[in-house]
Structure 1
């Protein structure tokens, strides 16, 4: 139990280091690739996420969605890749190779669609090398470049706001 607390503290320290060293580089490159991170314990509407990608004109082969669950669930069959706290080690170390590959992919846009304050979700968002990060309002505003203040149940509003701001930033045609 004590080791779990030390592990969490080391991961929080690593997260804070990532966020303080982060350099925001917003440019007018068009959105070609999209990564989405979501908490499957909060929302599991896979089709809406695909519609969002289609709405901002991202091809299906350039879309990557990963799910996170706080508990190890065996009944999650619709997701190719679902991660849990056991995939994270000390000091932000990632134990899962597929998750490492996701984090090393340079997406044009990364959408963090979760509301719960879960350290592992924040680590995934912060460690991603995406060019532009969009998310729902979090307690730590350093995680995302664009924060859209909506509820998780208001997905259509979130989708329209993402489209509106990406159009304003000239990231989509």
Structure 2
């Protein structure tokens, strides 16, 4: 069983790297202050994480940002608790193919959206969220630091082991707020 997981993982990584070589997008370092459209990806594991993401989305919306959050629920089916809301969509394991590639209407719309910044808030490697981040046309892609993540994200932020999501969100917000990109003339 472990060998099958490794094979799936290798195929998934190969597929994503191959897809990213064909991904044309306008890369740009954008400060949080200058961003207008922000996409947030996250792994929904408990109500505390959902509340932390909701609070962050509201903070950004209060700064006149258009925010779309897409949460991955590691269950086969979504419960009524995870029905789409105005700024929130969800997907589950039933929306993944055999090696973990995500696919449904919400995911397609999220990938095609012209985000200034996309932020992957997952605290550990999660292929479906990494895939969505990777193939997105977002100008700036932000995610967790990891040796195997440099081909996906433009900016990576280190998180300490056993960091709670709310603490990581504060770190991401802090670093994106102090970014000072040089003006392109």
Superposition TM-score tier, normalisation by shorter sequence: 0.7 to 0.9
Tell me the TM-score normalized by structure 2: 0.70
Distance in 1, Cα, partners of 2:82 & 2:92? 16
Residue aligning to 1:25: 27
RMSD between aligned residues: 3.5
Q: Structure 1 residues 70, 138: closer, same or farther in 2, change over 3 A?
A: farther
**Contact between 1:94 and 1:100, CA under 8 Å: does it hold in 2?**
no
Residue aligning to 1:106: 114
Count how many residue pairs are aligned between Structure 1 and Structure 2: 170
Distance in 2, Cα, partners of 1:147 & 1:156? 16
Q: Which moved more, 1:88-97 or 1:28-37?
A: 88-97
Residue aligning to 2:38: 34
Write out aligned runs for 1:59-98 (5 A): 59=64, 62-75=66-79, 77-80=81-84, 81-89=89-97, 94-98=102-106
Secondary structure of residue in 2 paired with 1:39: strand
Tell me the TM-score normalized by structure 1: 0.74
**Contact between 2:44 and 2:50, CA under 8 Å: does it hold in 1?**
no
**Structure 1 unaligned regions, length at least 5:** none
Q: Structure 1 residues 164, 94: closer, same or farther in 2, change over 3 A?
A: closer
Residue aligning to 2:139: 131
Secondary structure of residue in 2 paired with 1:48: helix
Residue aligning to 1:149: 158
Question: Match for 1:167 among 155, 178, 183?
Answer: 178
**Contact between 2:56 and 2:169, CA under 8 Å: does it hold in 1?**
no
**Structure 2 unaligned regions, length at least 5:** none
Q: Which moved more, 1:50-59 or 1:141-150?
A: 50-59
Distance in 1, Cα, partners of 2:50 & 2:98? 31
Distance in 2, Cα, partners of 1:17 & 1:158? 30
- What is the CA-CA distance between 1:85 and the residue it aligns to? 3.4
